């Protein structure tokens, strides 16, 4: 069960966090109250943090002003306070920010499978096999991810490697969506008497379906975190 988005906040040095050049930085100045999004460029001998200069700030004199910086370093969300030390226009517009002594950060946790209970229809891609297995059949999902889902059924839905169709109907931000997805059966396990758990992997999903599925998975994720109302 997903309970939180991140772990407790801790502090590391900027060098230890080692962010990738090019990542976005959000700079929030205290006076004047302005915010800009810039690109991280690098560091200068642990003396300053170098970032691009936003065009909107070219006419402002912000040197010496305090600001708060937020950015990603790998899977860590980072924040620190500093001053704008120097503004340069040559050889390209860029800023030097005061090198922070410590950076507060928290690790963003990624949960590949999100608990979801919804009814779906399963059929075999081989019609004769489907008839033999008593498909199509309405079963329930246990969880879902961007790669596949867990299905619960009172009987096996096939053998590992079988290719199935899963039909899903769900609400996506108030819009009724129906998807027919090709999946491959990855594993079958009888977790208790008369309860079979199947792991299926999405196979050759079309671009439109992939976009809808991605939106649905993240909607389920935010609902599980408590940021959205539950969706059927």
Over residues 93-135, the pLDDT tens digits come to: 999 999 998 898 876 545 567 889 999 999 999 999 999 999 9
H/E run at residue 76: strand 76-88
177-191 pLDDT, tens digit each: 999 999 999 999 888
pLDDT (tens digit per residue) in 79-91: 999 999 999 999 9
The CA distance from 109 to 4, in Å, is 8
Quick: pLDDT tens for 126-172. Answer: 999 999 999 999 999 999 988 899 999 999 999 999 999 999 999 99
Q: Say if residues 21 and 40 touch (Cβ distance below 8 Å).
A: yes
Q: How confident is the model at residue 215 (pLDDT cuts 50, 70, 90)?
A: very high
**136 and 123 Cβ atoms separated by less than 8 Å:** yes
- What sign does the dihedral 48-53-54-60 (CA atoms) show? positive
pTM score, two decimals? 0.53
pLDDT tens digits, one per residue of 40-59: 999 998 899 999 999 999 88
Q: Is the pLDDT of residue 2 over 80?
A: no
| Residue pointed to by tokens 């230890």 | 16
Sequence-separated (6 or more) residues with CB below 8 Å from residue 212: 172, 177, 179
Close Cβ partners of 207 (under 8 Å, ≥ 6 residues apart): none
Within 13-139, residue ranges assigned H as helices are: 14-17, 127-133
Judged against a pLDDT cut of 60, whether residue 5 lies above it is answered with no
How far apart CA 182 and CA 159 sit, in angstroms, is 15
Would you say 137 and 129 are in contact if contact means Cβ atoms under 8 Å apart? no
């Amino acid at each position: 069960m997903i309970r939180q988005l991140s772990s407790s906040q801790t502090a590391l040095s900027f060098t230890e966090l080692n962010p990738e050049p090019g990542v976005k930085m959000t700079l929030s100045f205290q006076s004047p109250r302005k915010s800009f999004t810039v690109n991280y460029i690098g560091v200068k001998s642990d003396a300053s943090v170098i970032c691009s200069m936003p065009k909107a700030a070219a006419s402002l004199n912000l040197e010496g002003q305090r600001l708060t910086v937020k950015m990603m370093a790998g899977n860590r969300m980072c924040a620190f306070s500093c001053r704008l030390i120097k503004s340069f226009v040559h050889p390209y517009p860029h800023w030097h920010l005061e090198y922070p002594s410590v950076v507060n950060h928290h690790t963003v946790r990624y949960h590949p499978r999100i608990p979801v209970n919804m009814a779906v229809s399963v059929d075999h891609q081989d019609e004769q096999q489907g008839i033999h297995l008593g498909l199509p059949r309405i079963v329930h999902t246990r969880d879902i991810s961007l790669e596949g889902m867990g299905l619960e059924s009172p009987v096996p839905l096939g053998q590992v490697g079988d290719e199935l169709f899963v039909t899903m109907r769900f609400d996506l931000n108030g819009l009724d969506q129906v998807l027919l997805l090709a999946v491959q059966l990855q594993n079958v396990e009888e977790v208790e008497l008369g309860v079979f758990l199947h792991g299926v992997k999405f196979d050759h999903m079309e671009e439109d379906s992939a976009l809808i599925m991605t939106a649905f998975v993240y909607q389920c994720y935010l609902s599980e975190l408590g940021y959205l109302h539950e969706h059927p």
